[in-house]
Amino acid sequence: MRLVGHTDLRRRGGAFTYLEAVVGVAIMAVMFVAFYTAISSAFSMIRVARENLRATQIMVNRLEGLRLYNWNQLIYSNWIPSTFTEYYYPLGTNGNAGITYSGQMTNSPCSLYPGATYDSTSMRAITVQVSWMSGGVQRTRQMSTYVARYGVQNYVYKN
């Protein structure tokens, strides 16, 4: 004698229903979208961090170059360009240099508060500003330094 109801119950309990399969696929789809969003967001953050690092390298390079100038070269010559252009890959060829960084350098009188104990005309403020387009967003970074007439360069080079 065979119990039909008992066998049917055992067979039904071993399989997934249509609703369970749909819920499982929906959960997997949500997990896939979240994973894809996290990965693309991480790559975007890494790209922005690299661009910021390159902008910092450009600004530091320009400011460190000022150490080689004496006071007359800083003030009375046109050796410091007011604008410049750098690239993400400086050695890129065939138009493969990457992002274009546009820069500005300003050489202005220094205004300190409280004022310096020596002649304020013997000190200048140099500012480097770099801007670039990234992902449809205009990005800008800036660095400043002070240069004194009787600074370190007079120990190395006699004016």
Q: What pTM was estimated for this model as a whole?
A: 0.72
Q: What are phi and psi of 51, to 5 degrees?
A: -65, -40
Contact of 144 with 126, CB cutoff 8 Å:
yes
End-to-end CA separation in angstroms for the chain: 116
pLDDT tops 70 at residue 74: yes
More confident of the two residues 155 and 120: 120
Task: Give the largest Cα separation in the chain, rounded.
Answer: 116
Mean pLDDT of 102-125: 79
Mean pLDDT of 30-48: 94
CA 149/CA 120 separation, integer angstroms? 10
Count of alpha carbons within 13 angstroms of residue 148, beta-carbon side: 11
More confident of the two residues 50 and 97: 50
The band of 12, judged by pLDDT with boundaries at 50, 70 and 90, is low
What the block records as the tokens of 3 is 């119990």
